[in-house]
Amino acid sequence: MTRPVYRFAPSPNGLLHLGHALSALLNDAAARAARGKLLLRMEDIDTTRCTPAFEAAIRADLAWLGITFDGPVRRQSEHFDEYHEAVELLRNRGLVYRAWLTRGEIRKAVADHEASRGTPWPRDPDGAPLYPGDLTVLGQAEIDRREEEGAPFALRLDMARACAAAGISTRQPLTFTETDADGRETRVTCEPAAWGDVVIARKDVPTSYHLAVTLDDARQGVTHVLRGRDLFAATDVHRLLQVLLGLPEPVYRHHRLIPGPDGRKLSKSNGDTALCALREAGATPAEIRTMVGLG
Ligand code: GLU
């Protein structure tokens, strides 16, 4: 039997907090229990917000927690050519299109629609508005003008075509395997269409979170994806990309999140729960385990 492969994949755009500690510790425990491997990946496609200093701080926190990784760290920023290749595969099959709308234009189109119709614009599982489409908002002449002047564009997945190309239908839905803490498996039905035409390559870099995470898990031979519950719905997009790109399907487990002092999800801006702040205040790794409910 091949050894299970787990990974911890933080973004070095801030400091690790207790939620990350839970994720890293669960991955470490699962990999050890299965005599598997644990890999470290830096999800640093956002080359302006991610810095070597945050990567160094993250690695210091993980070492302090007593977590060691197998093999070298994979940095997404060093693999843009691989993402570009995957995007081209999708593009050659007519599954992606150039999307010109800026964030401000999307916001305005959605607000105008909601004000004039009095009905909410459809949103994705994270609450972001679905892409309104260039033609209806800009018109063909403006699209042509932007194309001519070389305005920056993102590449978006044509979700309807992508689902058709992947052979997804109500009779043959896409699914993934979710396991719980005791290893019990359930098969979850995916609804990638709920995400609309997701970004596949951003304006500034030749990939997006969804594409990079999916491709990397395959490239790194990850067999078990163990991450926060906040990424449960995004798995539907990742499964779709796996089918379209002919990539293997890992097993998933989405763990509970650690609420912040205000009861909401922890974020990197919750400075007081940063691991290094807790360490400086005298907390021990054992106390961190207790704080995340692994005591
Ligand atoms: N980089 C993501 C984060 O820091 C995790 C992505 C994943 O585990 O799939 O939230």
* pLDDT of 16 higher than 70: yes
Quick one: average pLDDT of 69-97? 98
Are 129 and 194 contacting, i.e. CB atoms less than 8 angstroms apart?
no
Record the tokens describing residue 22, joined without a space: 């839970």
* Order of all β-strands in the sheet with 96-99: 96-99, 154-157, 199-201
* pLDDT of 1 higher than 70: no
96-99 vs 154-157, strand pairing mode:
antiparallel
Gap from CA of 144 to ligand 1 centroid (Å): 37
Gap from CA of 8 to ligand 1 centroid (Å): 8
pLDDT tens-digit series, residues 178-213: 999 999 999 999 999 999 999 999 999 999 999 999
224-228 vs 37-42, strand pairing mode:
unpaired
Q: State the architecture of 1-78+258-295 in CATH terms.
A: 3-Layer(aba) Sandwich (3.40)
Gap from CA of 137 to ligand 1 centroid (Å): 32
Percent of the chain that is helix, strand, coil (3-state, to 5): 45, 15, 40
Q: Which atom of ligand 1 is nearest to the CA of 238?
A: 9
**How far from 194 is each of 73, 133, 139, 214, 219, CA to CA, in Å?**
33, 16, 25, 18, 27
Quick one: average pLDDT of 81-98? 98
Fold identical between 1-78+258-295 and 79-221+232-250?
Answer: yes
Gap from CA of 140 to ligand 1 centroid (Å): 37
* pLDDT of 262 higher than 80: no
Domain ranges of the chain: 1-78+258-295, 79-221+232-250
Percent of the chain's residues with pLDDT above 70 = 98
Residues with CB under 6 A from ligand 1: 9-11, 43, 213, 227, 231
194 phi, psi to nearest 5 deg: -65, -15
Cα distance between residue 87 and residue 243, in whole Å:
14
In the chain, how many H helices and how many E strands?
A: 11, 10
Closest residue by CA, ligand 1 atom 6: 9
CA 61 vs. chain centroid, Å, equals 22
112 phi, psi to nearest 5 deg: -60, -45
pLDDT tens-digit series, residues 133-166: 999 999 999 999 999 999 999 999 999 999 999 9
For residue 272, name the pLDDT band (cuts at 50, 70, 90).
low
Gap from CA of 9 to ligand 1 centroid (Å): 5
DSSP 70: S
Residue 212 host element (H or E): helix 209-219
pLDDT tens-digit series, residues 17-56: 999 999 999 999 999 999 999 999 999 999 999 999 999 9
Name the 3-class secondary structure at 96. Answer: strand
Mutate to test the pocket of ligand 1, among 227, 253, 266 (most ligand atoms within 8 A of CB): 227
74-75 vs 96-99, strand pairing mode:
unpaired
pLDDT tens-digit series, residues 221-246: 999 999 999 999 999 999 999 999 99
Gap from CA of 228 to ligand 1 centroid (Å): 8
- Sign of the four-CA dihedral 256, 260, 262, 264: negative
Whole-model pTM over 0.75: yes
pLDDT for the residue 264: 73
Look over the chain and give the mean of its residue pLDDT values, rounded to a whole number.
95
Closest residue by CA, ligand 1 atom 3: 10
The CATH number of the structural domain formed by 79-221+232-250 is 3.40.50.620
pLDDT for the residue 295: 79
